[in-house]
Structure 1
Amino acid sequence: MYTDLNRPPLNADALRTALVSGGGDPRAFYSSLDVVAETGSTNADLLARSVDSALDRAVLIAEYQDHGRGRHSRSFVAPPRSSVSVSALLRMPGLPLESMGWFPLMTGVAVVDALRSVAEVDATLKWPNDVQIDGKKVAGILAEVAATTPAPAVVIGVGLNVTLTEAELPVPTATSLQLAGATVTDRDILARALLRSLAAQYSAWQADGWRVDGLAADYRDRCGTLGQRVRVELPGDTELIGTATDVDLQGRIVVRPDDGGEPVAVSAGDVTHLRPHPAT
């Protein structure tokens, strides 16, 4: 029994009806959807289940995660029922292995579109796949490879801050939909919109023959990092400071260094948005 009336549990039956094939909604894309009260990590749970090669388009949502994971194995914990913590296992027959890195970026596009349309917030992407509102992180995305043969398979996880208060935020650079003035903070509506948006992006990419040109253009259009002066912390304790000018067809951020050197394409690194140089 939950005690916080401002944070009711998700309606698993209604989500299945809307999102799972055979539930009655013609837009349904997924094969299964489970909601659990608590787990360590929804991504870890689906990765363990992915050994069943017949399992595809499976969704797992947790009301509370005590070992939620982000990029670079960073951990995060949010109060029960304050977030949407969801993972999906998706298999992608025919996807070139070299394009698998686009999957988390595609998911970022899906999350931004869902938040813009349903919550009516000005969400953008910080490269590679942090979702921000007014420069503060509202959602994180973690993609983990489940298989490469016979078809590539990925478990994609999304953690969306919904009703966290200022005191509950993990870091000062985070925010929640409630704090950002979203018009919708009903987690059932948000989970449904997010998963439908992910399905739409996946289906469009597959229909395009897994080409990345169109996806890259969609990503650039939603990427708030482009045009920003940035600091990129690179492997080996080095850093690159300059202006982000592009995201190339490999999903790399292209940075023009402040020192006037040749543009550098970065495939991995932590990006910080910096203030522009003062006018001289």
Structure 2
Amino acid sequence: MRRSLTESLELSYFSHIEVVESTGSTNADLIARAGDPNTDHAVLLAEAQEQGRGRHARTWVSPPRTQIAMSLLVRLPGITPDSLGWLPLLTGVAVVDALRATAAVPANLKWPNDVLIDGRKVAGILAEFAAGGPVPTVVVGTGVNVGLTEAELPVPHATSLVLAGAREIDRTELVLSMLTEFARRMTAWQAAGWDTADLAAAYRERCATLGAQVRAELPGGKTLIGIATDIDDAGRLLIGDQAVAAGDVTHLRANY
């Protein structure tokens, strides 16, 4: 990356920022370090990721220096179990705000935490719990398509910042913006005693799923089709009056 992140960041929120040339999975690497109680608010980035993990154990590989592959480890003292599910949603809000401000692209969210530009996926987020210790510990990973060409996209419905005509594609600048937004949101959330009211309002404002007709492929093979009406207090998607905690959601009629 163009500039040293450790020199560029003016954020006291992060205790350690590391950039490696290549790794299997930044999430897996930080989970392996979670047993050290001194590892907190740590950031790991890879120029290339060989075994990136998505939702439902899907794997993906990125060409070197064409994506942002970043994971953060945070310990969340005093958080309630119902609020834990909001961390990946908070991360999605931070990524959307960073891409809007720095790359000048019309990013928004598809529930739960895919980032879209004009209906095509530009970023995904995966949060994983790290076992052990008295304080809830979560590693949240973010992958952003930056310089991928059309031929390099992992799936046809994906896009990249280059393809979307982004104003800024320097990965260092984008990472700085994402970390700044994440730190700001996390600091405010913790100061509010993990109350989700403000966070939920911010998420709803940026979520393109709300108001759209969607199809949800649920665990166990069940399919639910209906209008996405709201996000409940636990971060679940309401389709009609049914709460969906996990599943693949497809927009059938978008509200943008």
TM-score, normalised to structure 1, is: 0.88
Cα deviation code 1:207-262 (max 9, x no counterpart): 11100111111110000000000001111111011100101111111112xxxxxx
Aligned-partner SS, 1:193? helix
Alignment partner, residue 66 of structure 2: 82
Separation of aligned partners in 2, 1:105 and 1:273: 18
Q: CA RMSD in A?
A: 1.2
Question: Where does structure 1 differ by over 4 angstroms across 4 or more consecutive aligned residues?
Answer: none
Alignment partner, residue 109 of structure 1: 93
**Higher RCO (C-alpha 8 Å, min separation 6):** 2
- Whether the aligned pair in 2 keeps the contact of 1:97 and 1:152 (CA below 8 Å) is no
Structure with the greater alpha carbon radius of gyration: 1
Aligned residues: 254
Alignment partner, residue 6 of structure 2: 16
Offset, 1:271: 0.3
Q: Which shifted more, 27-36 or 166-175?
A: 27-36
Separation of aligned partners in 1, 2:132 and 2:157: 35
Offset, 1:18: 2.6
User: Does structure 1 residue 167 correspond to structure 2 residue 151?
Assistant: yes
User: Does structure 1 residue 176 correspond to structure 2 residue 156?
Assistant: no
Of 20, 34, 56, which residue of structure 2 is paired with 1:50?
Answer: 34
Of 185, 193, 196, which residue of structure 1 is paired with 2:180?
Answer: 196
Identity %: 58
- Whether the aligned pair in 1 keeps the contact of 2:35 and 2:132 (CA below 8 Å) is no
User: Does structure 1 residue 65 correspond to structure 2 residue 55?
Assistant: no
TM-score, normalised to structure 2, is: 0.96
Cα deviation code 1:127-180 (max 9, x no counterpart): 000000000000000101114642111101000000000000000000000100
Unpaired segments ≥5 residues, structure 1: 1-9, 20-24, 257-262
Aligned-partner SS, 1:63? strand
Alignment partner, residue 268 of structure 1: 246
Distance 1:118-1:240 versus aligned 2 partners, 3 A rule: same
Separation of aligned partners in 1, 2:29 and 2:146: 23
